[in-house]
């Protein structure tokens, strides 16, 4: 007997739940994270009198323990923020860089495509994807420290202390931990220092029927965080932590060196700013998805309806498709790591009017999959962002930042702070953030309504993925733009990115989390 037609027609609908997560609104501030335990650390900073930057960075450090496969001390990223003190939007660039000693010739091409779904030719041994040769210079600690110094109100020791205490306690195991470790089990077990923690007894850590919390130790990560709190970011790049990172890098054969760490600096930059309907959108410039966001916004027509309709979604698809086609032709390919996407986003706002969007990553899930044992740091695989083919706009070269997909956005109105969005999800990030900003600005949605509304994704360029909740008229309109596939919003794989947002409004600062991300949450004070 063949598979019944009714079963074949629903083969992608393997998750049938619907989740709702309301916004969290407070008097002092609000913070949202992909892991609510980390968000609680940000909430505690707000309760202690901290501002949105304090809350966001404390949450980001806590994610090193709570969501270590997504981000951590060994990664990099971008912050877009509205500073109430400066009455301006700024960007903190702490992107990863290729090591100075990297030799592109040591990444020879192989047949087929790479193991991490980037779509370009494979490299022999996947050395640009996994292991020591995939590691770029980390910028996370420099970026967080600079953001705190310029825009926070708390000291680095105060901000790092909760994460250090969490690391000393250990990572709390959830079913999501089991899923993440199981999904990368084949590569994690290649590296004993990683497998010792994330594959105890050779298997992913798992929950039991006992509801009491279960924790797993994180090696020397607590020591590193405590030293960072005591000695500052200088220790990470020029002190004892740096020495241990460089020693592990040399031990494993990475080209990352002490000189790379000593030379690294995060930067404060001006954003790209664009006006639409009385609002001004601010996104990072340079080697991010910001320029493509700006291209799409420039081509987006005005909308007259009260809610998004078939014409709206078709317009989103057309403008996003054109922006990505231009990006690939002129800027290079930053890839899409599919279900291996490994990024965290944090959103925060406070009563002073500060809005903070942090997008931070190890690149792939568990980054290089190589944990440096002398520090307990899971290192990035930022080299995988580069095109391994020579002569391309984003080709692999030493001492260079690669093109990436991050685009934390802040929107102001009449010069005053309004809202912000950001997301994790590789090439799915920009379409998600773009549509969410439109939902709020063009259609008056609140944060929770915008995050729950159906979206389309153009990350595949030649195919539109459309939320199965969209009506038939919208599906037909999308098919006129490009081949369209219907897929419901699922927890895994995440088809439409994992966005979060924050807003400053008359009712107080608020934040909201992606409803289909199980551990995500927003908290307020």
Domain count, the chain: 1
Could you give the CA distance from residue 223 to residue 18 in angstroms, rounded to a whole number?
41
The residue count for the chain: 525
* Residue 343 is among the residues annotated as catalytic for this protein: yes
User: Which residues are bridge partners to 25 per DSSP?
Assistant: 510
Buried b (16+ CB within 10 A) or exposed e, 190-218: ebebbbebbbeeeebbeeeeeeeebeebb
Question: Beta strand 484-487 with 464-467: parallel, antiparallel or unpaired?
Answer: parallel
E-strand stretches of 15-133: 24-25, 29-33, 76-83, 88-94, 109-113, 121-123
Half-sphere exposure of 87 (CA within 13 A, CB side): 4
pLDDT along the chain (525 residues), means of 10: 68 76 98 99 99 99 98 99 99 99 97 66 94 99 99 99 99 98 97 98 93 96 99 98 99 99 99 97 97 98 96 98 89 53 93 99 97 99 95 94 97 98 96 99 98 92 93 98 94 94 98 97 99
Determine if residue 126 is left, alpha or beta; phi over 0 gives left, psi from -120 to 50 gives alpha, anything else beta: left
Options 177, 224, 319, 343, the catalytic residue: 343
Return the HEC string of 200-245: HHHCCCCCCCCCCCCEECCCCHHHHHHHHHHHCHHHHHHCHHHHHH
Q: Is residue 67 part of a domain?
A: yes
DSSP string, 156-198: HHHHHHHHHHHHHH-EEP-HHHHHHHHHTHHHHTTSHHHHHHH
Distant-in-sequence, close-in-space partners of 499: CB < 8 Å, separation ≥ 6: 345, 421, 422, 423, 432, 433, 436, 451, 514
Helix, strand, coil content of the chain in percent (nearest 5): 35, 20, 40
Q: Is residue 374 part of a domain?
A: yes
* Residue position matching structure tokens 């609000």: 30
Q: Is residue 205 part of a domain?
A: no
Q: What residue numbers bound the domain in which 241 lies?
A: 20-170+217-524
Q: Is residue 200 part of a domain?
A: no
Q: Is residue 57 part of a domain?
A: yes
CA distances in angstroms from 363 to 59, 288, 359, 404, 448, listed in the order given: 19, 13, 11, 9, 27
Determine if residue 370 is left, alpha or beta; phi over 0 gives left, psi from -120 to 50 gives alpha, anything else beta: beta
Could you give the CA distance from residue 107 to residue 133 in angstroms, rounded to a whole number?
9
Count other Cβ atoms within 10 Å, centred on residue 325.
15
pLDDT for res 185: 98
- The two tokens of residue 159 are 């901000």
pLDDT for res 339: 47
Q: 228, 430, 477: which is closest to 323 by C-alpha?
A: 430
pLDDT for res 332: 64
Q: Is residue 296 part of a domain?
A: yes
CATH number at residue 69: 3.60.20.40
pLDDT for res 460: 72
CA dihedral sign of residues 291, 293, 295, 297: negative
pLDDT for res 121: 87
Contact 95, 139 (CB under 8 A): yes
Q: Is residue 301 part of a domain?
A: yes
Contact 388, 123 (CB under 8 A): yes
Against a cut of 0.95, is the pTM above it? yes
Q: Is residue 206 part of a domain?
A: no
């Amino acid at each position: 007997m063949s598979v019944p037609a009714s079963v074949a027609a629903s083969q992608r609908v393997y998750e049938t739940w619907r989740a709702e997560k309301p916004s969290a609104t407070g008097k002092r501030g609000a913070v949202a994270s992909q892991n609510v335990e980390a968000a609680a650390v940000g909430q505690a900073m707000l309760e202690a009198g901290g501002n949105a930057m304090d809350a966001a960075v404390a949450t980001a450090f806590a994610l090193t323990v709570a969501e270590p496969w997504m981000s951590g001390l060994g990664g990099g990223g971008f912050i877009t923020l509205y500073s109430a003190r400066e009455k301006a939007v700024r960007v903190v660039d702490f992107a990863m860089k290729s090591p100075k000693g990297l030799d592109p010739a040591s990444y020879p091409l192989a047949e087929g495509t790479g193991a991490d779904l980037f779509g370009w030719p494979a490299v022999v041994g996947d050395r640009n994807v996994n292991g020591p040769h995939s590691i770029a210079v980390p910028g996370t600690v420099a970026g967080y420290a600079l953001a705190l110094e310029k825009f926070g109100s708390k000291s680095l020791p105060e901000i790092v202390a909760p994460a250090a205490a969490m690391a000393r306690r250990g990572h709390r195991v959830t079913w999501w931990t089991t899923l993440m470790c199981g999904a990368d089990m084949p590569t994690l077990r290649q590296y004993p220092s990683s497998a010792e923690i994330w594959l105890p007894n050779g298997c992913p850590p798992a929950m039991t029927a006992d509801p009491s919390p279960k924790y797993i130790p994180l090696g020397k990560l607590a020591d590193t965080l405590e030293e960072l709190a005591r000695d500052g970011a200088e220790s990470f790049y020029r002190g004892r932590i740096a020495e241990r990172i460089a020693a592990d890098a040399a031990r494993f054969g990475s080209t990352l060196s002490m000189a790379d760490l000593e030379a690294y600096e995060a930067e404060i930059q001006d954003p790209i700013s664009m006006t639409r309907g009385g609002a001004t959108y601010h996104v990072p410039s340079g080697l991010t998805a910001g320029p493509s966001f700006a291209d799409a916004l420039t081509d987006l027509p005005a909308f007259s309806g009260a809610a998004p309709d078939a014409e709206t979604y078709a317009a989103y698809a057309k403008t996003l498709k054109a922006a990505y086609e231009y990006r690939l032709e002129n800027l290079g390919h930053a890839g899409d790591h599919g279900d291996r996407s490994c990024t965290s986003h944090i959103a925060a706002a406070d009563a002073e009017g500060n809005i903070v969007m942090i997008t931070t990553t190890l690149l792939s899930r568990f980054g290089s999959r190589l944990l440096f044992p002398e520090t307990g740091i899971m290192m990035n695989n930022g080299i995988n962002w580069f095109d391994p083919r020579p002569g391309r706009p984003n080709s692999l070269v030493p001492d260079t930042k690669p093109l990436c997909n991050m685009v934390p956005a802040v929107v102001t109105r009449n010069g005053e702070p309004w809202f912000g969005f950001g997301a994790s999800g590789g090439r799915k990030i920009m379409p998600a953030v773009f549509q969410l900003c439109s939902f709020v600005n063009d259609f008056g949605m609140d944060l929770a309504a915008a995050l729950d509304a159906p979206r389309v994704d153009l990350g595949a360029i030649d195919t539109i993925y459309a939320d199965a909740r969209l009506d038939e008229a919208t599906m037909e309109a999308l098919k006129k733009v490009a081949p369209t596939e219907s897929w419901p919003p699922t927890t895994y794989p995440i088809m439409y990115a994992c966005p979060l947002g924050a807003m400053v409004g008359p009712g107080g600062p608020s934040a909201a989390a992606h409803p289909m991300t199980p551990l995500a949450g927003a908290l307020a004070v």
